[in-house]
Amino acid sequence: MPPGLVCLYEAEVDRSTDGDELVDIVAVHGLNEDSIEAWTDPTTGVNWLRDLLPKHVKTARVLTYGYDASSTLFLTSGAAVAIQRSAECLVQELYADRRFSGMLKRPIIFVCHGLGGIVVKKSLVYSSTRTAAKIDHLWDQFVSTFAILFFGTPHNCTKRSRWHALEKLSGASWQSKVLPGDRLSRSTSEDDIPFQSITAEFNPIMKQFHMFFFWEELRTTIGNRYEYIVDPSSAVIDIDNTEKAGIHAAHMQMIRFNSETMSGFRTTAEAILRYSQDAPRVVSHRWSQAIPALNKLRSNETYGLGGLAFDVHSKSPFLPNMIDAHQASTSHFCPPQDATPDFIGREDMLRSVHEALFVRGETILPNPRRKTFVIFGMGGSGKTQFCSKYANVFTIYAASKDTIKDSFCKIAKLGGLEATESAGRHYLSQLNDTWLLIIDNADDPTLDLQDLFSPGDRAHILVTTRNPDFRQAGSLGSLELKGLLENEAIQLLLTKADIQRPWDLSTIDAGKTIAKTLGYLALAIIHAGNCIYRRICELGDYLNLHASSRNMLQRRKSSTSNESIEANMVRAVYSTFDLSLKLLLREKSVRAQDASDLLKIIAFYHFEHIPMDIFTRAILNRAKATKPIPNEPFNSRILRAITDRLEPPRMFPRFLKDSHDQLDKYRVQWAIGELQSLSLISYDGRNRTYSMHPLVHAWARDSLPISERKIWASIAFTTLMESILLPPESNPDTDSEFLRDILPHVDSCLQEHELPLSLAFGDTRLKMAKIFQPTFLLIVREQILHSAKCGYILATRGRFDEAAGRLQMVKDSLLQLLGREHERSMAAMLGLAGVLWGLGRLEEAIDLQRQVVDTRTRLYGPDHEQTLQAMDQLGKSYWLHGQYQEALEIQEVTVQSAKAKLGETHSLTLGALDNLGVTLASWHRFEESAKAHREVLATRQKSLGDTHLDTLTTMSNLAMATFDLGDLDKASALMSTVYHQRQQQLGKEHPWTLWALCYLAKIRVKLGHLKEAEQMLTWGIEAGERSLSKTHLGVLMGRGELARVYSRQGKTTEAEEILLNTVQLVEASRGLAHPDSVFGRLKLADLYVVKGDTEKAMENCRLGLQRADLRLTRGHPLSQRLEALLKSLQETTASLDT
């Protein structure tokens, strides 16, 4: 069919009413579809819009709109332009048709399929803004639209690959098939096509329309895969006052009704009939107010802001742009992942919570209070699902300290702050509008629940817990979720079992008996319905099968006497999970066995947010490790063969044991699809993670025989370790998010499978093992590797104490097995040194680095690259520790050797020269310092670019050297560039960004811009305390600069208070001998000179010199400045005395 509007049915006009009861129904097809064939059943030729709908809706004119909906337009980078053009064409053509047909101002009901819904939403947004005098005729569509029916429209995102597959198969016969095991998409995040921005544009005018969301219940066959074209979670916008239903068909068939008896048609036709009856009255009243309101708006010259909108449930127009931004977008919210479109029941309880949080008639108080409500009940009762009914939420997963911290970090990141726990808490406390916080799975009785509550007063808080003692935390009360109501449970069971309506009495009675046996528990009922749906049994046979499974479960337990009611209920629920597992294993396929293995592995991870990358990375790393080395020497091949024969079997699941050319990451995706199809796990597409309900997780572990438990715990841990690479193969910058995400799972594994690494055997046993127990040594090697990986993860997440313990064992073990001169031993020593730095154990760290430098110098020579690398690290450590003389000596040698050996442009040479420049500045050799930084900056700008982070580091160093030389304008320009670039690349609260802000404020102080500097430092210190700590060097430096500002502003009392506290913190954290402590005493002495307190000034000079003698010596410029100031003060005092 050609593009444009085609009339399929013209209603007869009742002359007595002048057609005022008429409505326009406009159907807009989706991607790769035709405006006629899209709505036509290919077998019978029935077009339901033309042949069926007019029999029920007699007052409607039925139109279908055609447009170029090829994937080449809508699935490319120009999709936004294509959608906008299609939307504008729809508005223009619909207006023209309605004007020539005499239908202007008559109600419109849109029926949309797939991406046609995106075009309609965009057209309504466009039409809503056509309020200027010359184009206000295009406002007709916006004001006249009463309802929209969305069939499989992706409101959030969709997969590009699925639509391409549909286009390729457009000439083939389409089939719908119930999925035996979901095949997940092979695409990456680049495969996602996001539509959230269009939904956000549509949100402010959404309340104007009645909306009905339909999702596809059957997946579509695409080759050998079965997939939703539009995921149900994307097809439904979960908001109040809308309707939702599933269509028992795949995406293409969901709009091809061939009979009036089809359930989908009856639901659709009833909604359209109801809308067509209500629309004329509402839209007529809307138009009666629209024109006067628009004229009034124009008189105030504000109509260009976006026009007017109308609430379909209210009679008054409103300005859509006045809606708060938090209501218009969900980009700053983190809802629980478990929300589903087919939530059933709990209406009375939902109403109770709503009435508690939103008291009828309550006005906005000048001093609002935090409102807390606790939802408690046993596992599987639906607490998280219940809370997910509330939109626009932040969620804290309270299952452990790490999940709590991670939740706050994500909230901070959503708010544009540094991803730290304190920043997340701060962001919540600063929100001005009412918002909802869900604290989920707060089951640990030792948890301090009050500590998770935001300090702000605008929060509404829902807590889900299995612990009834937490009821007292609910300021508004609490509510216990038990089983569903009987009718709710029956509805959920029969819906999940896919038993067609209407249900006869025998079906309802059978459902009633099953629901009662399962205690009306939502999770158990879902699994029971799933078993029936998968045809493992009929509805009437389910209880017999369940009883058999429960008896087997009881025989596995030693005793079932004296069980509590809840324990008995858990046993009943476990039996439903056992039936799901039986269904899985009955297939006897590789996919089913992989799924079973995966279930046992996941049982030893934390139950929430299990990254898919654990398994894909493990497979890729395993394939790389087992891949034959091309042109490998004969001796190496022999040695590898011998090692392979001696190596004990690796504790891997089957999908990791294949040879390198057979390892396939999609085996895991197939297996996960199997578990997901059985509702044993749930998928969160936002961050590619999987979760288990806590009750399913407990069952998966408890169902393992004791003899197998340790084996599978070891397999789970080994699989997790295989996903991790150590430096230099791993990059902490690019892998940081993955390492953060797997930490809870590492902790969970270690609780069950603690590393047995303790190798305090003597030299004799070591020699004997090397000769007679090579297999034992290979086992030890793997344990060392795993311990090193655990230490590495812990270190990257800032858990230095635990990391140091594990890396200490690694270092000691490698020294015993390989000796001090082996490169792996030295690498372990350097890794441990880095962690000891984080703990403030500076002398130990430097000692380890010095040993590595000495060993590499002896083995490789002083000019070897690895020796120079270790020397550069040691020199930087000396400087950080305040050992400026030692730093200067080793860095000068390092730079000289690196230039001669590696060349002046080598990255190691440049890094060493940059570090030398910093040390030269510490000796107040500012000209030499600036020269070194200029040399490095010129090379890095040429090789890396102006905005590379390494380039910015050198630029920052040069800025401060220039500042010390007195060129303040140039220093300010350089540091401003650094600050803005770091802010853009790293975030405004990243530690490096805050360092740049502090340096920039220091320059501003020198330029005399005191007020600006004060504002910068006040904000930066608060941000630093949130992101770092109150004792972090950068925070202390910022406080020192703020004291300088106060002093120059004449606020010497405030300056003294801040500076005294700062110096005390510096001395406590850095040590009395550190040059920063000496510098702090000098600044205190300068402040007391300003205040005229000579005695305190001289006292601080003496204290500064005492500290200088500990490390700096009297030859350092700081010592010389203190001596000069003390001498001047003594002379002044003496002259006054005389």
Phi first, then psi, for residue 60 (nearest 5°) are -120, 145
pLDDT of residue 91: 94
861 has pLDDT over 90: yes
pLDDT of residue 357: 60
d(CA 1094, CA 623): 73
- With the CA atoms of 977, 983, 988 and 991 taken in that order, what torsion angle do they form, in degrees rounded to the nearest 10? -80
656 has pLDDT over 90: no
986-1000 residue pLDDT tens: 777 777 888 899 999
Give the amino acid at 795.
A
d(CA 367, CA 458): 10
CATH number for the domain running over 332-480: 3.40.50.300
Two domains, one topology: 4-289 and 332-480: yes
Kind of pairing between the strands at 219-222 and 176-177: antiparallel
pLDDT of residue 1131: 84
- With the CA atoms of 666, 670, 675 and 677 taken in that order, what torsion angle do they form, in degrees rounded to the nearest 10? 130
Instruction: Report the share of the chain in percent with pLDDT over 70.
Output: 75
DSSP 929-974: HHHHHHHHHHHHHHHT-TT-HHHHHHHHHHHHHHHHTT-HHHHHHH
Its pTM stands at 0.55
Q: How confident is the model at residue 732 (pLDDT cuts 50, 70, 90)?
A: low
Instruction: Report the share of the chain in percent with pLDDT over 90.
Output: 27
d(CA 2, CA 666): 42
pLDDT of residue 114: 92
DSSP 194-226: E-HHHHHHHGGGGGGSEEEEEEE-SEEEETTEE
Q: If DSSP codes are grouped into helix, strand and coil, which group holds residue 696? A: helix
d(CA 408, CA 397): 9
Say what angle helices 542-556 and 522-533 make with each other, to 10 degrees: 120
Query: At which residue do the structure tokens 């500045």 appear?
Result: 921
pLDDT of residue 319: 43
Q: If DSSP codes are grouped into helix, strand and coil, which group holds residue 147? A: strand
Q: How confident is the model at residue 662 (pLDDT cuts 50, 70, 90)?
A: low
Which option is the CATH number for 4-289: 3.30.70.3270, 3.60.40.10, 3.50.50.60, 3.40.50.1820?
Answer: 3.40.50.1820
Q: How confident is the model at residue 881 (pLDDT cuts 50, 70, 90)?
A: confident
pLDDT of residue 180: 35
Kind of pairing between the strands at 317-318 and 371-376: unpaired
Lowest-pLDDT range, 252-256, 311-315, 481-485, 1070-1074? 311-315
396: enclosing H helix or E strand = strand 393-397
508 has pLDDT over 70: yes
800-813 residue pLDDT tens: 788 888 888 888 88
Residue 30 corresponds to which tokens in the numbers above? 């989706």
Return the domain boundaries, the chain: 4-289, 332-480, 486-585, 590-721
CB atoms under 10 Å from CB of 164, counted, come to 16
Across 132-141, 387-396, 417-426, 941-950, the highest mean pLDDT is recorded for 941-950
pLDDT of residue 168: 66
739 has pLDDT over 90: no
3-class secondary structure for 855-892? Answer: HHHHHHCCCCHHHHHHHHHHHHHHHHCCCHHHHHHHHH
d(CA 804, CA 795): 8
Kind of pairing between the strands at 243-247 and 393-397: unpaired
